[in-house]
Amino acid sequence: MNEAAKEIMNNFTEVVLAYGESDEYSFVFKKNAKLFNRREDKILSCVLSLFSSAYVFHWPKFFGPDNPLKQIPSFDARIVLYPSLEDLKNYLSWRQVDTHINNLYNTTFWSLVKLSTP
């Protein structure tokens, strides 16, 4: 997914930040972005399309040509306009906290699984 996000960053120069965790990615566009005349549907469909195709394209690089995808991946997407920089900061802070909580949960869960497996 990181490689797919790099493709977004390289192809959409008005993206200034990408944040990914688990199966989710957030892309922050410049406040004054002019991409596709700011048409939400066009931006959404093009970013989602490139992300999806880049994910499939780069799969063999990480998992090898002998380990093909078992099903066609799909991603959902949405565009959110945050009214202020403070609101955007709060959203990204929440994402970071959520990442931390998920990491703690998963680390604890799998440690307990390992302890209980003979």
Q: Do the Cβ atoms of 79 and 44 come closer than 8 Å?
A: yes
Q: Over range 84-92, report the average pLDDT.
A: 96
The answer on 88 and 75 residing in a single domain is no
- For the record, the structure tokens of 113 come out as 């699984």
Amino acid identity of 32? N
Do 12 and 70 belong together in one domain? Answer: yes
User: What is the four-CA torsion angle of 76, 52, 80, 93, rounded to 10 degrees?
Assistant: 100
| CA 2 to mean position of chain CA atoms | 7
CB 39 within 8 A of CB 115: no
Q: Which residues contact 25 (CB under 8 A, 6 or more apart)?
A: 1, 4, 5, 8, 18, 19, 51
Residues 48 and 93 in one domain: no
Considering the domain architecture, whether residues 4 and 32 belong to the same structural domain is answered as yes
Residue ranges making up the domain that contains 21: 1-81
Say whether both 72 and 92 belong to one domain. no
Co-location of 44 and 75 in the same domain? yes
| Whether pLDDT at 23 is above 90 | no
Supply the mean pLDDT for the chain: 94
pLDDT score at 118: 76
Which residue's entry shows tokens 């920089």? Answer: 85
Q: Which pLDDT tens digit goes with each residue over 67-87?
A: 999 999 999 999 999 999 999
Q: What is the count of structural domains for the chain?
A: 2
